[in-house]
Amino acid sequence: MEGIAEVLSKSEIRRSSDMIFVITGTHHQGFERLVRGMDELAPHLKEKVIIQKGHTKYTPKNSEYFDFCTLEEMYGYIRKARVVVTHGGIGSITDALGEGKPVVVVPRLRRFGEHVDDHQLDITRELEKEGMITAVYDIKDLKGAIKKAKKPLKIKGGRVVEIIKDFLRRVEENEK
């Protein structure tokens, strides 16, 4: 698999300094807008950028990258990251929030061929409204969002789960 040799060993993850970890998830459609955007931004950042690029065809030139990793390895990257930049999938967002990391969300959008619909946009807007994440709707705003997301997020109890369950309940009701 392309990029699999780029996966850092667990000991390298533990030794790494401040870095930005980018998650594209496992969806079969690539996420070139995010991967290319972060890779082009990487030389202008003080931290190392590590990208989980999934099915994205673009190969980063300025960032470390890999296609996929185990869940255990994913948590290792998240724990070491200063900021997590992720697609708008609930699993990736809650994993990062659960580790108390500042989270920047770039939702996959249908109009760019990144997903079959815009449900990630709805999730992103809801969590942004609750002040839980920093949202990026235009990739040109990525650098500013990363700067804005500097302070670690403080989560009170199970609030993340409550908000997501409430959101999913409303989506389900609207589909009836």
User: What is the rounded (10 degree) CA torsion for 63, 71, 29, 150?
Assistant: -50
| pLDDT, position 6 | 42
| pLDDT, position 20 | 98
Q: How confident is the model at residue 17 (pLDDT cuts 50, 70, 90)?
A: low
**167 pLDDT more than 90:** no
Tell me the pTM.
Answer: 0.81
| pLDDT, position 80 | 96
Contact 105, 93 (CB under 8 A): yes
DSSP 49-92: EEEE-TT--PPPSSSEEES---HHHHHHHHHH-SEEEE-S-HHH
Contact 32, 63 (CB under 8 A): no
Cα 71 from Cα 91, distance rounded (Å)? 11
**11 pLDDT more than 60:** no
Cα 136 from Cα 143, distance rounded (Å)? 10
* Domain housing 32: 4-175
118 or 166: which leads in pLDDT:
118
For residue 99, give every residue at least 6 positions away whose Cβ sits within 8 Å of its Cβ, in sequence order, or none. Answer: 75, 78, 79
Cα 149 from Cα 138, distance rounded (Å)? 16
**38-59: per-residue pLDDT in tens?**
999 999 999 999 999 999 999 9
Instruction: Tell me the one-letter amino acid at 117.
Output: D
| Number of domain units in the chain | 1
Collapsed DSSP state (helix, strand, coil) of residue 132:
coil
Collapsed DSSP state (helix, strand, coil) of residue 38:
helix
**92-104: per-residue pLDDT in tens?**
998 998 888 999 9
**109-132: per-residue pLDDT in tens?**
878 878 878 888 988 998 898 888
**CATH assignment of the domain containing 70:** 3.40.50.2000
Measure Cα distances from 79 to 21, 82, 100, 118, 131 in Å: 10, 8, 9, 29, 21
Structure tokens at 157: 């109890």
